[in-house]
């Protein structure tokens, strides 16, 4: 199920946050959005769920304008994992994952089965009865990922899911996304993770798309220098994998 | 969980019998039990034999409606408090803090001090309290919307609630200031301190209907409340229209609170304490059982607070609001200190 933003503009308090941004996330691919802080990445994906309103442009889900869809219908097709999914109230992991079933009105299967299947997929069944607030940041991200599995959508939009996570959790999440056969649209900060896992990259700067294409097309030393103001080198290791290092 | 609820229901029934026996006139518990059982199941067949008609009068027509009113008000305030905390994503919110009660108070004062003849008697106070509560919540909502620049932020809603609270309290004081009738002023003061002393069978109906409706609505919308409590953005992304839900529920709560406050005056802190006690007992928010806990504990709390109000100082009754605030105030401070010690989450 493809996700498409077409000429999207967002203005907040007389400031242009997004200027005619177009982006397309294809079926069964990981599409990454990368860019410096304040370049409009999170704003862009928040418009999809009406968390931020846009003044111009259109958003499509499989060629259907999302304005013609109810929020529950959208939620049946696309899951969202925000940057800081935390609550000041106490919930167990099981309860959080169960919330993924909210958009699905019909109760075709036992909800508990779906919840535990989702927890099993990420090997976190042991967390089920724990309070979400007692988990580490990485564990919590896995719980929200499990909720998106219980939500059973064709697409997932994620806002910096690997931030502040240790390397184990970063790879657990990215590996799941790579192998889940869903349309993934992900805001990501880590260039090397993006190089390794993304199929397509949109590099953003000052509310516009600076460059888009395959990781090799976008992640050039010149582009990184222009967008991030960082000088570095694109390297290849013995297995021909590409990685970026910042110059000392 | 079910076992605990069963125990709580038993405690609630025992509390009904025990609190009926408390008051200026001494009524032994066994007599309360006899009157209740005899009236409910034997159509008063033992009247004159096991108890006198004056016992019946005190137990069935004076104390029982009052205890029932305590139960209704306690349940209503607790579940509305719980709902308000969820709506504003703030564990220290309750309808009292949000200005709805002070709005109702201003309206009721107007009706008590400057009665007009369009509506008769107590209904005028109810109607004005409701208008006051709704205007107040509308003001809170509008100011919060302006303050947060479109999409309502819980913090700005709390702040505007406080501002409206101050405005409405000032309005009540102004009505008292310009009022001429000392009797009216005394009535307003009494009303503001909260009391269910005047409860009768006929005054139970309206609050009971409001609280039952609230219970049903909150149970039906339970999942939406939980979704919101787990995170506003996620709730939106999971298909809940948070803005619409917040507005409709705030207005609904205003209706319920207005109905309760118009009958009892301001009974503070119940909506704050009980949801917290419930959370401490349950360690979770997400189940119908928590809601039932909250209802039973709230009902029992007000029943016992009212028993203390009429039993602690002999013939002189302490207004209920004073008792609940005496317990609620320190508890509120305790929560703040505890939160601070945790590092101010």
Q: Tens of pLDDT along chain B (345 residues)?
A: 577 788 889 999 999 999 999 988 888 999 999 999 988 888 778 777 888 888 899 999 999 999 999 999 999 999 999 998 888 887 777 776 667 788 888 988 888 888 775 555 567 887 888 888 888 878 887 888 787 666 667 778 788 888 898 999 899 999 999 988 888 888 888 888 888 888 889 889 989 999 999 999 999 998 899 899 888 888 999 999 988 898 889 888 888 888 888 788 888 888 888 888 887 777 655 567 788 889 999 999 999 999 998 888 777 788 888 888 887 778 767 766 776 666 444
Preferred mutation among B83, B239, B293 to probe A, highest tally of A CBs within 10 A: B239
CATH of the domain at B274: 1.10.3470.10
Selected residues 79-118 of chain A with any CB under 8 Å from a CB in chain B:
79-80, 82, 85-92, 95-96, 98-100, 102-103
Using a CB–CB cutoff of 8 Å, tell me whether B146 touches chain A.
no
Residue B9 lies in a domain: no
Nearest to A95 among B240, B284, B345 (CB): B284
* pLDDT tier at A193, thresholds 50, 70, 90: very high
Q: With 80 as the cut, is the pLDDT of residue A127 above it?
A: yes
User: Considering chain A, what percentage of its residues have pLDDT values greater than 70?
Assistant: 97
Question: Given an 8 Å threshold on Cβ–Cβ distance, is B239 in contact with A103?
Answer: yes
DSSP-assigned states of every residue in B78-123: HHHHHHHHHHTT-TT--TTTTTHHHHHHHHHHHHHHS--SSS-HHH
Alpha helices in chain B (DSSP H): 2-20, 29-41, 53-56, 64-87, 100-113, 121-148, 154-178, 182-192, 201-220, 222-229, 232-237, 242-264, 270-282, 288-311, 320-341
Selected residues 149-188 of chain A with any CB under 8 Å from a CB in chain B:
151
Greatest mean pLDDT among A30-44, A128-142, B245-259:
A30-44
Average pLDDT, integer, range A165-189: 92
| Nearest residue to B130 (alpha-carbon basis) of B206, B195, B65 | B206
Under 8 Å between Cβ of B247 and B87: no
Using a CB–CB cutoff of 8 Å, tell me whether A134 touches chain B.
no
Nearest to B284 among A76, A90, A144 (CB): A90
Residue B344 pLDDT: 44
C-alpha to C-alpha distance for A81 and A63, rounded to whole angstroms: 23
C-alpha to C-alpha distance for A5 and B252, rounded to whole angstroms: 38
Domain containing B314 equals: 73-341
Per CB-CB distance under 8 Å, the chain A contacts of B230 are 87, 89, 91, 96, 99
Residue A203, H or E segment: strand A200-205
Nearest to A99 among B90, B149, B226 (CB): B226
Q: With 80 as the cut, is the pLDDT of residue A109 above it?
A: no
C-alpha to C-alpha distance for B97 and A209, rounded to whole angstroms: 47
Residue B43 lies in a domain: no
**Residue B344: which residues within 8 A CB-CB, separation 6 or more?**
none
Q: Work out the minimum CA distance from A91 to partner chain B, whole angstroms.
A: 5
Residue B332 pLDDT: 67
A28-42, A172-186, B49-63: least confident range: B49-63
User: Three-class SS of residue B60?
Assistant: helix
Selected residues 83-112 of chain B with any CB under 8 Å from a CB in chain A:
86, 89-91
Q: Work out the minimum CA distance from A183 to partner chain B, whole angstroms.
A: 16
Nearest CA in chain B to A49: B237
Per CB-CB distance under 8 Å, the chain A contacts of B286 are 91-92, 95, 98
C-alpha to C-alpha distance for B201 and B69, rounded to whole angstroms: 9
Which backbone phi and psi does A57 adopt, to 5 degrees? 100, 180
Residue B345 pLDDT: 41
Per CB-CB distance under 8 Å, the chain A contacts of B149 are 13
A83-92, A225-234, B1-10: least confident range: A83-92
Residue A133 pLDDT: 85
Structure tokens at A36: 């410096």
* pLDDT tier at A25, thresholds 50, 70, 90: very high
In this complex, how many residue pairs, one in chain A and one in chain B, have their CB atoms less than 8 Å apart? 83
Q: With 90 as the cut, is the pLDDT of residue A22 above it?
A: yes
Question: Given an 8 Å threshold on Cβ–Cβ distance, is A87 in contact with B231?
Answer: yes
Q: What are the beta bridge partners of residue A59?
A: A5
Nearest CA in chain A to B235: A99
CATH of the domain at A174: 3.40.50.300
C-alpha to C-alpha distance for A201 and A195, rounded to whole angstroms: 9
Q: What is the DSSP letter of B152?
A: P
Average pLDDT, integer, range A48-62: 92
Under 8 Å between Cβ of A114 and A101: yes
Q: Which residue has the higher pLDDT, A13 or A207?
A: A207
C-alpha to C-alpha distance for B140 and B163, rounded to whole angstroms: 8
| Nearest residue to B34 (alpha-carbon basis) of B44, B23, B24 | B44
Q: With 60 as the cut, is the pLDDT of residue A62 above it?
A: yes
Residue A108 pLDDT: 62
Number of domains in chain A: 1
C-alpha to C-alpha distance for B292 and A210, rounded to whole angstroms: 56
C-alpha to C-alpha distance for B68 and B275, rounded to whole angstroms: 20
Report pTM: 0.83
Distance of CA A142 to the CA centre of its chain: 13
C-alpha to C-alpha distance for A125 and B121, rounded to whole angstroms: 61
Under 8 Å between Cβ of B237 and A82: yes
Which backbone phi and psi does B114 adopt, to 5 degrees? -130, 65
Domain containing A81 equals: 3-246
User: Three-class SS of residue B135?
Assistant: helix
Residue B17 lies in a domain: no
Nearest to A103 among B86, B229, B238 (CB): B238
Nearest to B230 among A49, A99, A151 (CB): A99
Distances (CA, A) of A145 to A95, A177, B174: 14, 9, 56
Residue B21 lies in a domain: no
Residues in chain B: 345
Residue entry with tokens 């609230």: B214
Structure tokens at B30: 């066994």
Q: Which residue has the higher pLDDT, A71 or B155?
A: A71
Nearest CA in chain B to A150: B238
Number of domains in chain B: 1
Using a CB–CB cutoff of 8 Å, tell me whether B186 touches chain A.
no
Distances (CA, A) of B85 to A33, A144, B253, B276: 36, 23, 12, 10
| Nearest residue to A139 (alpha-carbon basis) of A151, A154, A128 | A128
Q: With 70 as the cut, is the pLDDT of residue A107 above it?
A: no
Count the alpha carbons within 13 Å of B113 in the hemisphere toward its beta carbon: 24
Which backbone phi and psi does B7 adopt, to 5 degrees? -60, -45
Alpha helices in chain A (DSSP H): 41-48, 71-77, 93-98, 111-121, 137-151, 167-179, 191-197, 215-218, 221-228
| Nearest residue to A209 (alpha-carbon basis) of A3, A4, A15, A23 | A23
The mean of the pLDDT values for chain A is 90
Residue B240, H or E segment: none
Distances (CA, A) of A11 to A27, A44, A65, B113: 30, 12, 21, 51
Q: With 90 as the cut, is the pLDDT of residue A247 above it?
A: no
Question: Given an 8 Å threshold on Cβ–Cβ distance, is A82 in contact with B231?
Answer: yes
């Amino acid at each position: 199920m493809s996700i498409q933003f077409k000429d999207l503009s967002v203005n907040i308090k007389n400031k242009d946050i997004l200027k005619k941004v177009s982006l397309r996330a294809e079926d069964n691919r990981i599409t990454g959005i990368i860019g410096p802080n304040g370049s409009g990445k999170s704003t862009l994906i928040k418009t999809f769920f009406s968390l931020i309103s846009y003044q111009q442009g259109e958003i499509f889900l499989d060629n259907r304008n999302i304005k013609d869809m109810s929020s529950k219908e959208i939620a049946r097709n696309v899951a969202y994992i925000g940057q800081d999914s935390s609550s000041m109230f106490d919930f167990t992991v099981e309860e959080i994952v169960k919330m993924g079933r909210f958009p699905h009105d019909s109760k075709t299967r036992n909800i508990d089965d779906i919840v535990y299947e989702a927890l099993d997929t990420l090997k976190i069944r042991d967390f089920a009865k724990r309070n979400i607030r007692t988990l580490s940041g990485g564990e919590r991200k896995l719980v929200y990922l499990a909720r998106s599995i219980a939500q059973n959508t064709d697409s997932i939009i994620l806002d910096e899911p690997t931030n502040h996570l240790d390397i184990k959790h970063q790879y657990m999440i990215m590996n799941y996304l790579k192998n889940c056969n869903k349309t993934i649209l992900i805001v990501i900060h880590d260039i090397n993770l993006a190089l390794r896992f993304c199929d397509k990259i949109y590099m953003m700067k000052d509310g516009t798309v600076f460059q888009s294409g395959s990781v090799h097309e976008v992640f050039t030393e010149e582009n990184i220098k222009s967008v991030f103001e960082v000088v570095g080198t694109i390297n290849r290791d013995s297995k021909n994998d590409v990685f970026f290092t910042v110059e000392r | 969980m079910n076992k605990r609820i069963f125990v709580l229901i038993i405690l609630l029934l025992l509390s009904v019998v025990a609190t009926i026996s408390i008051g200026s006139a001494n009524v032994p518990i066994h007599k309360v039990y006899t009157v209740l059982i005899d009236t409910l199941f034997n159509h008063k067949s033992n009247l004159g034999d096991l108890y006198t008609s004056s016992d019946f009068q005190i137990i069935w027509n004076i104390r029982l409606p009052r205890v029932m009113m305590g139960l209704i008000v306690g349940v209503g305030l607790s579940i509305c408090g719980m709902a308000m905390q969820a709506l504003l994503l703030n564990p220290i919110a309750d309808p009292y803090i949000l200005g709805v009660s002070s709005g109702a108070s201003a309206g009721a004062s107007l009706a008590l001090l400057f009665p007009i003849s369009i509506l008769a008697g107590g209904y005028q106070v109810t109607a004005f309290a409701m208008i006051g509560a709704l205007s107040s919540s509308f003001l809170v909502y509008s100011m919060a919307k302006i303050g947060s620049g479109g999409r309502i932020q819980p913090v700005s809603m709390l702040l505007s609630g406080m501002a409206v609270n101050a405005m409405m309290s000032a309005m009540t004081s102004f009505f008292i200031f310009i009022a001429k009738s000392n009797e009216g002023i005394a009535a307003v003061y009494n009303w503001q301190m909260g009391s269910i002393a005047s409860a009768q069978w006929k005054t139970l109906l309206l609050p009971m209907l409001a609280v039952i409706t609230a219970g049903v609505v909150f149970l039906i919308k339970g999942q939406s409340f939980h979704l919101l409590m787990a995170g506003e953005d996620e709730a939106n992304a999971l298909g809940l229209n948070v803005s619409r839900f917040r507005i409709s529920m705030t207005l609904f709560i205003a209706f319920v609170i207005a109905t309760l406050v118009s009958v009892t005056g301001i009974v503070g802190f119940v909506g704050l304490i009980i949801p917290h006690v419930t959370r401490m007992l349950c360690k979770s928010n997400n189940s119908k059982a928590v809601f039932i806990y909250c209802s039973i504990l709230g009902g029992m709390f007000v029943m016992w607070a009212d028993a203390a109000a009429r039993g602690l100082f002999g013939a002189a009754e302490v207004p209920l609001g004073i008792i609940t605030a005496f317990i609620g105030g320190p508890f509120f401070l305790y929560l703040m200190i505890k939160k601070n010690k945790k590092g101010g989450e």
